[in-house]
Amino acid sequence: MSFATADLCDAHENLLALGTLRVLEPVFHLFSRTAYFSGQAVTLKVFEDNALVRATLEEEGAGRVLVVDGGGSLRCALVGGNLAEIAQQNGWAGIVVNGCVRDSLEINELDVGVAALTTCPRRPQKRGAGERDVPVSLPGALVHPGEWIYVDLDGVLVANVALD
């Protein structure tokens, strides 16, 4: 399905007013070859540790979007080229990271969508700490598991239901 977040906002002003469609703050940058992606959210809450990110991306993605609340840390990357490639191979539509990515040139060659705050070359720890399928707080909105995520060059939307 092709879409533009601006058009979705225009077509669903009533949902914006109700708060069932939310716009994340414009702090996310889109990486990857794809210009847009969408799907139901699988949520993770981690901090400077990406073992749970890897374990989740190794599962069948089924067109879903992994939403990672990394606490906004800019000290290390939670997703790199290897994890983005795993996501692509396993059928994930994309990844939204409240934190950093690395290997941006590699990610830009992939067809899986990746949105993050910025880049950082440092890798994270791999202790396995974190929580899955919990509400996560991203800049501008709380995201619940199963909500719908829409991402393009203009921004990131979170909706309680699938949008047409």
pLDDT at 127: 94
Please identify which residue in the block is written with the tokens 């199963």.
146
Closest among 117, 144, 158, 127 to 44, alpha carbons compared: 144
Q: Is residue 152 marked as binding?
A: no
Residue 134, in any domain of the structure? yes
pLDDT at residue 1 in the model = 75
- Number of domains composing the chain: 1
Asked if 81 contacts 63 with a C-beta cutoff of 8 angstroms, the reply is no
Q: Is 132 annotated as a binding residue?
A: no
Residue 129 located in a structural domain: yes
Is the Cβ–Cβ distance between 51 and 127 less than 8 Å? Answer: yes
Beta bridge partners of 44: 68, 132
Structural domain includes residue 164: no
Q: Is 81 marked as a binding-site residue?
A: yes
Residue 83 among known ligand-binding residues: yes
Average pLDDT by stretches of 10, the chain with 164 residues: 95 97 98 95 98 98 98 98 98 98 97 98 95 98 98 97 92
Residue 102 assigned as binding residue:
yes
Domain membership flag for residue 83: yes
- The residue written with tokens 């994270």 in the block is 124
CATH for 115? 3.50.30.40
Question: Alpha-carbon distance 71 to 138, whole Å?
Answer: 8
Residue 97 tokens, joined:
């990271």
Residue 37: give the domain boundaries: 5-159
